[in-house]
Structure 1
Amino acid sequence: MEKKQSLAQKVNIMRAAVMGANDGILSVAGIVIGVASATNNNYAIFLAGIAGMLAGTVSMAMGEYVSVNAQKDAQKKAIIQQKAILAANYDEEVLFVKEKYQQKGINPTLAAKAATEMMQKDPLLTSIREHFGFDIHEFTSPYAAAVSSMISFPLGSVLPLTAITLLPISIKIAATFISVIVALAITGFIAAVLGNSNRKKSILRNTISGVITMLVTYGIGTLIGR
């Protein structure tokens, strides 16, 4: 029977999806706005956007796959090392766990009892959690993260690509610029919710990076067009 994914694993996959969509919006927006500032040829703009979408999709998926695998390798190495430490210094590890519990505000007597019981039940799980902050039974799938990014990147790319190619020439750059900022604000908010971080800062950081990216590519495209 297939083991169900934990909430943490699902959140990591959702994070990959949100980041994939965010990169898709920003990367392709930068490309199409840059090209559109140099030429009004919709075919050239669309072709550049599609090329960016395809390249970005592969790059994002491979990046997630490599990144998650690197994280898993580091976690597995930590598990191997911790097994050796437990075999050689079990009592010191119990003391370490006790002190960690005390730092969290638990009464020293209760912390000692909890540490002893937890270490007797599953010493590796307990010591790894207190030393490194992860669960040895929960690893994010690199394949799931890669597929999630591979799907979300082109979905994010659709917004700037559609706006820049279908809107009237007189407003397409400005309208694409505005629509991308709104979309980046949304992905920034979602990323902050998933990461339990400051939402205003995340939105501001995401939108500012988007504005800078589009202004730079617009400026370069304008210079080339001249």
Structure 2
Amino acid sequence: MNEQVLDVTAVAVAHAGEGHSSGVSGRLNWLRAGVLGANDGIVSTAALVVGVAGATASHVAILTAGSAGLVAGAVSMALGEYVSVSTQRDTERSLLATERRELEQYPEEELEELTTLYRAKGLTESTARLVAQELTAKDAFAAHAEAELHIDPEALTSPWQAAAASAVSFTVGALLPLLAMVLSPPASRIAVTVVAVVLALMVTGAVSARLGSAGVGRAVARLVAGGILAMAVTFGIGQLVGTALG
């Protein structure tokens, strides 16, 4: 019986100390955010340039509007991500500081709390206590951060990295419809842009669905339908405005 408890404890301790699972999760979150940022860049810029193209055939006007939209969107995405991640990081730091202080002031109570957390995961009382004691002896702060707060103190997200990743992904996505529009012949540039956008949305929809373990078909259909609707609406508004001003 004691050997069985020790075996279970060893597995639990090894699992608790694994760094790869949180690393993989973090990379998936970054990739998902990048795909969503690129998708925002594709749809918003495509809708903008198609709308301007509906109002005017001026190459300069389309390029100017598209470039301004790209820069404004990238800056907005970066700023929003920076503020969001900074707020999250400040909250995590506050929770970690509180946990560290509680470990210093109430070590016995914190050990009981850790034992309770492992019991809630399905371990017996004796095994949960042994796991809690061994993890506390090794690194009490890291053990509580992982089991209680679900935070890796060594892997807090950088607001600057998040902002840069968001801006880059948006820019990459936005460049596709902008280049498709300005590099295509005037007679076919709207059609070329629509085709390029649909294909790009199919790719981002499939990737995001795979990352989220969702159905690819429905995810792609929603993105493509939304992108086409956005371009149709802005094109119609562009034509109305162009006709009224012309």
| TM-score normalised by structure 1 residue count | 0.81
**Counterpart residue number, 1:70:** 87
In 1, Cα distance between equivalents of 2:57 and 2:117 = 63
The alpha carbon displacement at 1:219 in A equals 2.9
- 2:153 aligned with 1:136, yes or no? yes
Equivalent residue number for residue 3 of structure 2: none
Counterpart code for 2:121: K
Match for 2:136 among 119, 125, 130? 119
Distance in 2 between the 1:192 and 1:134 partners? 26
Gaps of 5+ in 2: 1-22
How high is the sequence identity, in percent, across the aligned residues? 39
Q: Secondary structure in 2 aligned to 1:198?
A: coil
Displacement after TM superposition at 1:74 (Å): 1.0
* Match of residue 3 from structure 1: none
Quote the Cα distance in structure 2 between the aligned partners of 1:127 and 1:66.
27
Q: 2:168 aligns with which of 151, 163, 177?
A: 151
- How far does the alpha carbon of each residue in 1:114-158 deviate from its partner, in whole angstroms, 9 at most, with x for none? 122112322222212222212011112222222223333222212
User: Does the CA contact (< 8 Å) of 1:16 and 1:145 recur in 2?
Assistant: no
Return the letter of the residue paired with 1:155. Answer: V
Q: CA deviation at 1:217?
A: 1.9
Identify the residue that residue 214 of structure 2 maps to in structure 1. Answer: 198
Which sections of structure 1, spanning at least 5 residues, go unmatched?
Answer: 1-5
Contact between 1:128 and 1:136, CA under 8 Å: does it hold in 2? yes
Equivalent residues of 1:13, 1:140 under 8 A apart: no
1:174 is matched by which residue type in structure 2? A
Match of 1:220 among 205, 221, 237: 237
Counterpart contact for 1:9–1:139, Cα < 8 Å: no
**Which amino acid in the other structure matches residue 198 of structure 1?**
A
Which is greater in Rg? 2
Structure 2 matches for 1:173-192, cutoff 5 A? 173-192=190-209
- Report how far residue 20 of structure 1 moved: 3.2
Q: 1:88 to 1:45 in 2, by over 3 A?
A: same
In structure 2, C-alpha distance between the alignment counterparts of 1:180 and 1:151, rounded to whole Å: 18
| Partner residue of 2:55 out of 8, 18, 38 | 38
Q: CA deviation at 1:48?
A: 0.7
> Which 10-residue stretch deviates more, 8-17 or 110-119?
8-17
* Distance in 2 of aligned mates of 1:185 and 1:117: 50
**1:17/1:145 contact within 8 Å kept:** no
Counterpart code for 2:34: A
1:161 is aligned to 178
- AA partner of residue 64 (structure 1): E
| AA matched with 1:21 | A
Which range moves more in the overlay, 64-73 or 146-155?
A: 146-155
Partner SS state of residue 122, structure 1: helix
The aligned length equals 221
SS at match of 1:40: coil
Are the equivalent residues in 1 in contact too, given 2:117–2:148 (CA < 8 A)? no
